[in-house]
Structure formats: C-alpha cells, structure tokens
Structure 1
C-alpha cells in the first residue's frame, strides 16, 4: 500500500461508543508508526474513560508499553491546553488527544491551535473522538473508524486486528473512500483486506484512485522536520 499519513499534522479519528476499542487501538498504532523511537503521549479525561490501557494488550499490538506516557486531565479545557503545550515539544514522537461526546470547546479556533502547533514542531497529532459528531475543524484528514472482522489464523487462532476506515474529509485531495486494513503486529505494518477500495462519494461504484490513498494512510516515514512530508 503506497502513501502515508502526513506527519506533523492534525488528524481526526471518530469512533462510536461500540467501536471505542477499535478507534483507540488504531490511534495508538498510527501514533506508534509516526513516533519511531520517540515517546508517545496519550491525553485523556479523568471522567468518562471506560477502557484503560492494558500492557499485554499493547504488546500484542506490537507496541512497547514503556514508551507510552498517559496524561489524565480533569476537563476538556485543561486537556486542550495540555495538548497544545505537548505539541510544541519536538522531542515527542506523537500525541493522541482523546475527547468524548460533543466536546464543545473543540471549535475551529481550538483545532487551529493544535494544527499550528503540530506543524511547527513536526509532532503528529491524532485527535481521537469517541461518541462525538464532526464539526468544522482544521484537521488535515478526518476518518470514521469501526472494527472489521478478521480471518482466523491456522488452528482457529484469533486473526489479526482489522479496521474499517472511511475517509470523511481530506484537505488536499478527494475523500469518501473506504478501506479495510489489517494490522500485522509482527511485521509492524498494515495490509489491505480482501475487499476492494470503493469510492462512495462519486456514485460510480468504481475503484478509488490510488492518489486518494497517497498521503492519507500509514506507513509513516522517519526523519524530521516533517511538517511538509508524507510517506
């Protein structure tokens, strides 16, 4: 799969309450790929965070739990303020910003602050929206994430983690496409599922242009500064 998630930018991932685990898992995988050997930072709220990070589960995804830093904030205002401060630190590998529900403080102005801070430092920001609806945003890309069925491994062992990823919006290109991605934790890379990519925005039912994927989905290259680079 060619292309990649643009580094040093703000990207928004939406997951419903029933797909919280899938959206959070994909956000952490993307952050891991964007960060390289640098630390990851996950900002969360003290209230409402149902799922808690589980070390063996992170390791099963191919992530090193010792590289994950978690900051717990008491409200959205403190979380967004901490997110801007964190994004100004170029030593950080990537930042996951988790907000739940409507999050009224996350308006266009707030998202612009996040986007500008990410572009300035080259730190990739993943805005994880659980149970929220899209509003005007300065994010480079916007995605809807749901869990997808995986093919069992030999011996009927659980299959690899699979995600259905729908591109809701992209600032620099076409949107409306859907991909099924399978995460190979041993090789630390994504592969596409057996399903073809479909363009739901054109109404033609045809295969999406490869250029629509370029610059939109992992893998993510190493090296900085990265504000104007994509895989």
Structure 2
C-alpha cells in the first residue's frame, strides 16, 4: 500500500495493465477457517454487503480480512470515498498487524458515491484481482437495487468478489448475495497480558441462497490466517445476533 491513495485516473491505468490476466475460481466459496462463515455463502464473483459502525473500525477490519482471504496472493483494490478517507485514514502497519501485506493493497479515493460505484464496476472487470472493497459512509440511494445490480453483474462476469463496506448506514433492498452486520467484541488477553486476537461479533442478515439470522463471535488468528470461534472466559461460546461491542480499531486498520 503506497503512502498516498491512488487517483482514479491512476487506477484506470493499473486496471488496463492487469486486464486479461488469469481469473480465479469463479463462484468458489471463500475459505476462512470458521465453519459457520464458510457455510454462509460468501463466494467469489458476488457482491457481499458489510454494515457497521464507522467509529470502531470492526466492520472495515472484517471486510479487509474477508477480501484478503478470498484474494490469496492476488492484489486487492480498496476504493474509498473522500468522506471515508477523511474520517479514518488507512494505516499500512495496521494491515500488517492483521497479517495482511500492505503491498498487496491498491488504495484509491473517489470524490463521492457515484464515482465510487463507477470505479468499483471498472475494477471488478479485472480478472487478475483477488477482491475489491468499496467503502462509503452514511446513507445513499446509489447502492439500492439498480446500483448493486450493476456491481453484481460485473462481479459475476469476472469472478472477482466485491465487499461493499457501508459504514453508519442502514440496509436497504439490494442485489447482494450476503449481507453482514459487524460489531467489535472483547478479546481475551494472551500470555503476559499481551493484547489478544481481534474479535468480531458477526451477524448474517441476509443470504440469497439460504436462511440467514445466524450470529457468531469469531477471532482472527493472524499467524494461521484463519477465523475461529472466540473463547470467552476460557470457553468457546457462540454469540447471539447483534452481539456485544469492543475489539480493536480496525480502521487504522485494526
């Protein structure tokens, strides 16, 4: 990840250079290491909505980890509106703390949601990408049925998954394959009272291919690069939907 965000014009140049390179497994499930998440229908070539509080950064951290889990060694494009970037700049060392290589992340800013939508469609056409994240803050009608249908068609054509990160927004009808609400949750300290693994309270709000309403408390193991059930007071306890808040700030990032 460079120190300054890529302009949309520069991003188009990068996209042009990458077009035509090999595609990834279109429609294949994304393996996270957590049985519940793996069974939830998070597949490549689809749009996945991630909702959360922009203040804690948990939703951004979860979206980043899902995107990089999907990408393997391929690059990820992270698109952000100027409003999102002003609110919480991305922080390369924070990505590294999550086990993500910042050099594999191409960050670009868009002045508004309309430009973000257009840039995401362009990026999704590049089959060499591992994933795309598109981040906005607040309410907008642009990511309703019409806008998300455009994004879905582009993702399906290339096999590249899109994680539409909606901070401080409320869900509305869309063409998303899955919809998630993410909150931070308390982590358990490691040996010598070292900070614990990042923990997320995860709720599956919508799943086109099956039932939703499931919730988990999961932690991210950066060394194994997997999600797993988060232990609580020494026990592994599943969380009810809309679980408790806490966890690291993921937006710097994590």
Q: Which residue of 2 aligns with 1:196?
A: 238
1:130 matched to 2:172? The reply is no
Instruction: Give a deviation string over 1:11-67, Cα, whole Å, max 9, x none.
Output: 000012333x11111111111010111100000011243111111111110000001
Please provide the CA RMSD for this pair. Answer: 1.4
Output aligned runs, 1:203-214, within 5 Å.
none
Distance 1:48 1:181 in 2: 26
Output aligned runs, 1:86-105, within 5 Å.
86-105=123-142
Aligned length: 199
Distance 1:74 1:198 in 2: 38
Q: Which residue of 2 aligns with 1:26?
A: 62
| Residue segments in structure 1 that go unaligned for 5+ positions in a row | 201-231
Secondary structure at 1:71 match in 2: strand
Q: Which residue of 1 aligns with 2:47?
A: 10
Distance 1:110 1:94 in 2: 18
Output aligned runs, 1:150-165, within 5 Å.
150-165=187-202
Shift of 1:199: 7.3
TM, length-normalised to structure 1: 0.83
Shift of 1:6: 1.2
Distance 1:33 1:109 in 2: 28
Q: Which residue of 2 aligns with 1:41?
A: 77
Match of 1:170 among 207, 218, 223: 207
CA contact (8 A) 2:96 2:102 kept: yes
CA contact (8 A) 2:177 2:208 kept: yes
CA contact (8 A) 2:83 2:136 kept: no
Flag as ranges the 4+ runs of structure 1 deviating above 6 A.
none
Instruction: Give a deviation string over 1:52-106, Cα, whole Å, max 9, x none.
Output: 1111111110000001001101111111011011101101110001011012221
Distance 2:241 2:80 in 1: 34
